[in-house]
Structure 1
Amino acid sequence: MPTFNSVADLNRYLSSSNGQQMLFNQDSIKRALQSEAERLQKYLIEEIDKHLMSYQPIEYHRTGAWLESIRMSPVKRVGNEFIISITFDDQFAYHPSVIGGEDGYVPWLMEVGWKDHSYSTPHFKGFKGTHYIKNAVERWNRDNKFGFKIRVYHGKERYL
């Protein structure tokens, strides 16, 4: 155990990754990670609900599958890191296009939006996206008491 000359030195150490490892054992890390992933999932659902409450579609019927597609993995250890994933189940995440063409991956389309110059109807012509993932991560980070890191990917490409 290192020695400290002040409370500030102790606080700096406890905030470091070495200090965090000293404070946590594997079980407490897993519990904390699980709890924090659940908090992020709650924020994702709240952000989706905010969008769903913002208007009622006329041209199509909502299925609720976007919300049903959210999945959380168990905590796993990879090397010296603990990882938990929040993903979207493809069975529920892909929806047939109401305007024809290939199926749309709703979780991503609702995050970043789309443009289609062949339509004049709002939400068909284009949509700026809700940025619900970005918003949920920002909300989560405001109270990130453990210093956990979130990495968001779309496919193999890092988004956040």
Structure 2
Amino acid sequence: MRNFNNLNDLSKYIGSPAGQQTVMGKKNIKNALREAAILLEKIMYEQLQDYYASYTTVIYERTYGLLNSLRISPIKQVGNELQIMVYFDNESATHPSILGGDPGYTADIINDGWAWKDQSVDIYRFSRYDGFHFVEKSIDIFNTRNKWGFKISKSREN
């Protein structure tokens, strides 16, 4: 049994991954992680729907590959932490260029935007786009609903 000298030490321990597992139990934490991942996936789905609703395509037909590529990973133990990921299936989220160039990872392109090297043609959403930042918006919304106190981070893993 671990001993604590004061409430501050106890509070720090309870806030740590090891303390949370001690207090809640690993099974309850896994259930909470799954619930949180489902919430984040739902929010990201809604944000992508907002992006699709923000304009009508003219030059191409939407496949909705990105919207349908959202996935939730199994929970894994990393050190003394449990982790779960909400991510995009690479195959479904990669889209061929309509101009014959290299395929693009649609999640990055829609989130962060793009710009052609040749800026002689300036057509918004075709030759340049500022990005919709749906990942950051989703994280912000998740954090307002995060009843578990989980920490969330944005990363790009292949």
TM-score, scaled to structure 2? 0.85
Alignment of 1:140 with 2:139, yes or no, is: no
Percent identity between matched residues is 34
- What's the offset of the Cα at 1:155? 4.1
Contact kept, 8 Å, 2:96 with 2:104, in 1: the verdict is yes
Paired with 1:32 and 1:118, the residues of 2 have a C-alpha distance of 51
Alignment of 1:95 with 2:101, yes or no, is: no
The letter of the residue matching 2:144 is R
After superposition, the C-alpha distances for 1:92-113 in whole angstroms (9 at most, x for unaligned) are 1111111231111100101100
Root mean square deviation, CA, Å: 2.4
TM-score, scaled to structure 1? 0.84
Paired with 1:15 and 1:27, the residues of 2 have a C-alpha distance of 17
Unmatched runs of 5 consecutive residues or more in structure 2: none
Paired with 2:80 and 2:11, the residues of 1 have a C-alpha distance of 22
Q: Which has the higher contact order (CA 8 A, sep 6+)?
A: 2
- What's the offset of the Cα at 1:146? 2.0
Contact kept, 8 Å, 1:73 with 1:84, in 2: the verdict is yes
Paired with 2:77 and 2:113, the residues of 1 have a C-alpha distance of 34
Paired with 1:100 and 1:118, the residues of 2 have a C-alpha distance of 19
The letter of the residue matching 2:149 is G
Paired with 1:2 and 1:44, the residues of 2 have a C-alpha distance of 42
Look up the match of 2:132: 130
SS in 1 for 2:66: helix
Look up the match of 1:16: 15
SS in 2 for 1:154: coil
Structure 1 stretch displaced more, 46-55 or 67-76: 67-76
- Aligned pairs (5 A) from 1:41-52: 41-52=41-52
